[in-house]
Chains A and B, each alone.
Chain A
Amino acid sequence: MSSVLLENITKSFKDYQAVKELNLEVKKGEFFTFLGPSGCGKTTTLRMIAGFYYPTTGRVLFGDRDMTRVVPEKRNTGMVFQNYALFPHMTVFENVAFGLKVRRLGSAEIKKKVEQSLKKVRLEAFIGRQVSQLSGGQQQRVALARSLVIEPEILLLDEPLSNLDARLRDEMRTEILRLQRDYGITTIYVTHDQVEALSMSDRIAVFNFGECQQVGTPKEIYNEPANDFVAAFIGETNLIPVIWDGKGGETLQFSWEENKNKKVVAETLFSSYERDHHLSVSIRPEAVEVFDEEPLNLQNVYEGNVELAQFTGASVNLFISLGEKTVQALILNNQTRREPQPGDKVWVRFPESHVRVIPRVMNQPARSMST
């Protein structure tokens, strides 16, 4: 087991840069997730760690060993592919034993290790099956067993759950986490699914346009997004472009870009800000408060009309038009209370402590962002 250090990594293909000046450290035993939309460079980065690509510039280190130019077969990483890449002409046993045979272990030892690792993924009964006879979830577990049995230094998972249906996905999520904790292995997990990322990871790196936008724990990423891309990509959020007015005592004062008469007050500071950055206010739907009557003596209160109320079981999604902007609010399904209906006049409030002011990077030339 070892840590992974990516130093100033850039990867260019013929006509575009897939990864730009990436610096990352994955700690020993950590469950680390690369999260981002497709084409953001996360899989490219993972493949550079596995050795299938070599960085154009920069270095890849496992612990203090420079692995930048080492061939894949000498890296001792265990990779689980999106399509599992099980060898279709081999049985479950032969698939799992492959890496051990390459390492020239004795057949008794191979047998013992394969059985152990299949037990860990609860497939010991399927040891003699052809892989084509297994269901998607079982194939996934064979792929996991095959990667783990070679006792890799780093486990690499490339969107491993994207080919499974929703129910199996939940099951495999816990399974993967359990195995990772069992083995205590450094794990890098690539996904575009924010729920997976938030629920599984110790830390997350959010990618876009080949750049790392933010690194942090799931809580940090969700509660303190570094910019509007991160805020919008992770969970739902309301983004309102604003202009800086100045300081007002303990708080920061802003007005709406689209309507200067509307003001926003914020307590929290944004983490990084450069002079030429345009700013937005981000507020999560569950933080938005909704009132039937105008609340008095409170800031960040706006009058609006309910456009749509979506009942989702545990909660109700309200889409409330504030004139220039429609915001989303999430209220819990409280059976004793009548929910606002479309057409109702309501007042919404953005609590100052939950308003986050962040730089805008979407819909304008990408900028490098430090966190």
Chain B
Amino acid sequence: MKNRDRRFTLLLLIPVILVLVAYVLYPSLRTLIESFHHKGGWNLKNYETFFGTESRSNLRALWNSVYISLLSVLFSALIGVPLAFIFNKYEFPGRSFFSSAAILPIVLPSLVGVMAFMFLYGESGLVPNAIKDLLGLKHVPFKIGGVSGILIVHAYTMYVYFYMTVSSTIRSIDPSLEEAAYNLGAGRFTVFRKVTLPLLTPAIVGASLLVFMTSMASFSAPFLLAGGFRVLSLQIYFSKVNGNLQMAAAQSVILSVVSISFLLFMRWYQNRRDYRMATKGIGAHRSEIKNPFLKGSMVILGVLGVIILLLPHATILILSLVPDGTWTYQTYPSVFNIENYLFLFTEPKIWDPVRNSLILAFLATLGNLVFGVLTSYVLVKRKFYGKNMLDIMVMLPWALPATVVGMNLILAFNEPSPFTFGNILVGTFWILPLAYFIRHIPLVVRSTNASLEQLDDSLEEAARNLGAGWFYLFRRVVLPLVMPGIMAGTLLAFVEAVGEFPTSVLLYTLSNRPISIEIMNQLRMFNMGQAAAYGMIQISLIGLVLFISNKFFGIKAERSL
């Protein structure tokens, strides 16, 4: 009966809301409250300091964050959009290989990627030095660092957003739309401007907002490359390290406000108009390139592109084979063996971080799996008031920069609270799995949502009509059918947790330090080889997971973003 139905919805909702309030909402509120505290009183001192004229470092960091993000959007779009066009509109030898290679950057955890770029293009990087030796120059012809370094890393990792969203939109455009325009007498340029571009606008705007948010929150690249250059996410870290938690709180609030307004803007924009195609069953429609010269140069460009894309991965692989202490003053490494990998099995100190990472990620992901499936089911299949609010709350960890999530947890759980059963979590083992769990809630919920939305309600009704109770039909009908979506999100959450750096660096303890922290430590000790070996472990894990989800669940890597 109706009330029974309502009661059941409520029963499902209670744990969802409890978890969200305890670990998402409450920590955020703590940060907000803390940001208005200064020297024991309620006031706006922190914000005055931030915006004040005394020291402009915070304001400058905010401005740096914004303009780096804007430039990241521009460069990512300049790479991603043309690539999407070339790979989806034209047919030439090797096209399908190149187009799958184009998503390679997502197989690189942020910290490892930045490390690879340092070794490739930095002051003592392999590429500038190779050019120097080849041309017999006195100094390296170029090096990355500071703003240029951050921008190059951002463009390399974030163009994938543009590439994937625009690609999937191009594929969904019914070719007969463009043909209709040609048939009505429009020229190539008019068709592009009046038909293709308007249809692509939502994808481009969506990707722009995504890149902007991601690079506002970016931590690893500035952390390793910025030098004296400050961005807001770094400022938070430094305030925390210097013990000024209240300033860190104020900085977190400001960064969150920027990010959340972008999230809300994005939701509004995506709901505003709907360009979904009315047609079904669209066949791929690529024009073949006939001109042999053009065809040849396409292939050469493609090969070059793949090489550039693969260089970071290759660099990490090569470096991981260089034993510590054999590459000091030389331009290029000369000794190669698998010593760094052997240490994993012989030195407990080297193995510990790997084991820690796997345990932490496993715990967090297990939580994500259970919580994500429950939340998604409630959101998609149940009716209740305030669904929109719940949806926003679920998406909140996605809009919050990782550094802010870390700060929130520090400020909320560095004292006993009812949500932690009266325990202090900061400084314990459990704070890291909790952080990873919170970070990846939206990932699992979103990918499960996508599957659940495609599940016709009549299947559930048919099962009930045949006499199945809710638990039976959930286990036998709903779960098996949405499993691909659940697994896509869960596996991705797992690899992201293994590679997670920003929250780790804020929250780790010596006993639970994960791989990323150890990479940082090894880099500080100039043990490049060991750091790279850790990086390779992360890369292989991600590769393995993408392979598994493709092979066993038929999930394309691009679907999981």
Q: Chain A: residues with CB nearer than 8 A to chain B?
A: 50-52, 54, 69-79, 81-83, 85-89, 98-99, 102-103, 146-147, 150
Contacts and interface: CB of A to CB of B under 8 A. Distances in A.
B481 A102 contact: no
A171 to B, nearest CB: 23
B458 interface: yes
B458 A72 contact: no
B318 interface: no
User: Which of A69, A85, A103, A146 has its CB near the most chain B CB atoms (within 10 A)?
Assistant: A85
Contact of A87 (B467, B469, B477): B477
Given A70-B1, A83-B458, 6 more contacts: A52-B464, A69-B1, A72-B464, A72-B465, A102-B469, A147-B465
B472 interface: yes
Across the A-B interface, the 10 shortest Cβ-Cβ residue pairs? A99-B466, A85-B462, A85-B458, A69-B1, A72-B464, A102-B467, A79-B465, A81-B458, A73-B464, A102-B468
B456 interface: yes
B463 interface: yes
Interface of B: 1-2, 4, 456, 458-459, 461-469, 472, 476-477, 480-481
Nearest to B470: A73
Nearest to B477: A87
B465 A78 contact: yes
Given A99-B467, A102-B468, A89 B458 contact: no
B461 A71 contact: no
A146 B466 contact: yes
B214 to A, nearest CB: 36
B58 to A, nearest CB: 50
Contact of B456 (A73, A85, A146, A147): A85
B466 A150 contact: yes
B320 to A, nearest CB: 42
A85 B461 contact: yes
A73 B462 CA distance: 9
Nearest to B476: A98
Contacts of B468: 73, 98-99, 102
Nearest to A77: B465
Contacts, number: 69
A71 B465 contact: no
User: Which of A50, A52, A77, A78 has its CB near the most chain B CB atoms (within 10 A)?
Assistant: A52
Nearest to B465: A79
User: Which of A51, A69, A76, A87 has its CB near the most chain B CB atoms (within 10 A)?
Assistant: A87
Nearest to B472: A102
Contacts of A150: 466-467
Contacts of B480: 89
A161 B2 CA distance: 31
B461 A79 contact: yes
Given A52-B461, A81-B461, A87-B459, A73 B481 contact: no
Contacts of B466: 73, 78, 98-99, 102, 146-147, 150
A55 to B, nearest CB: 10
Contacts of B477: 87
A103 B469 CA distance: 11
B467 A73 contact: yes
Nearest to A80: B462
Nearest to A88: B481
A152 to B, nearest CB: 9
Nearest to B467: A102
A54 B6 CA distance: 13
A85 B467 contact: no
Contact of A73 (B459, B469, B476): B469
Given A54-B1, A71-B1, A88-B481, A83 B467 contact: no
Contacts of A81: 458, 461-462
A101 to B, nearest CB: 8
A325 B87 CA distance: 63
B386 to A, nearest CB: 16
User: Which of B1, B456, B464, B469 has its CB near the most chain A CB atoms (within 10 A)?
Assistant: B464
27 contacts: A50-B465, A71-B1, A71-B4, A73-B465, A73-B466, A74-B467, A75-B465, A76-B467, A77-B465, A78-B466, A79-B461, A79-B465, A81-B458, A83-B456, A85-B456, A85-B459, A85-B462, A87-B459, A87-B462, A87-B477, A89-B481, A99-B467, A102-B467, A102-B468, A102-B472, A147-B465, A150-B467
A70 B4 CA distance: 10
Contacts of A72: 461, 464-465
Nearest to A150: B466
Contacts of B456: 83, 85
Contacts of A73: 464-469
Contacts of A102: 466-469, 472
Contacts of A50: 461, 465
Contacts of B472: 102
B71 to A, nearest CB: 47
A6 B458 CA distance: 24
A358 B461 CA distance: 41
Nearest to B1: A69
Contacts of A75: 465
Contacts of A88: 481
Contacts of B467: 73-74, 76, 99, 102-103, 150
A83 B1 CA distance: 25
B9 to A, nearest CB: 14
A73 B4 CA distance: 13
A273 B218 CA distance: 78
User: Which of A72, A76, A82 has its CB near the most chain B CB atoms (within 10 A)?
Assistant: A72
A113 to B, nearest CB: 13
A86 B461 CA distance: 11
B382 to A, nearest CB: 14
Contacts of B461: 50, 52, 72, 79, 81, 85
A45 to B, nearest CB: 16
A196 B468 CA distance: 31
Contacts of B465: 50, 72-73, 75, 77-79, 147
User: Which of A75, A99, A150 has its CB near the most chain B CB atoms (within 10 A)?
Assistant: A99
Contacts of A146: 462, 466
A306 to B, nearest CB: 42
Nearest to B2: A54
Contacts of A52: 461, 464
A147 B467 CA distance: 11
Contacts of B462: 79, 81, 85-87, 146
A98 B476 CA distance: 9
Nearest to B481: A89
Nearest to A149: B466
Contacts of B463: 87, 98
Contacts of B469: 73, 102
B78 to A, nearest CB: 43
User: Which of A50, A73, A76 has its CB near the most chain B CB atoms (within 10 A)?
Assistant: A73
A76 B466 CA distance: 7
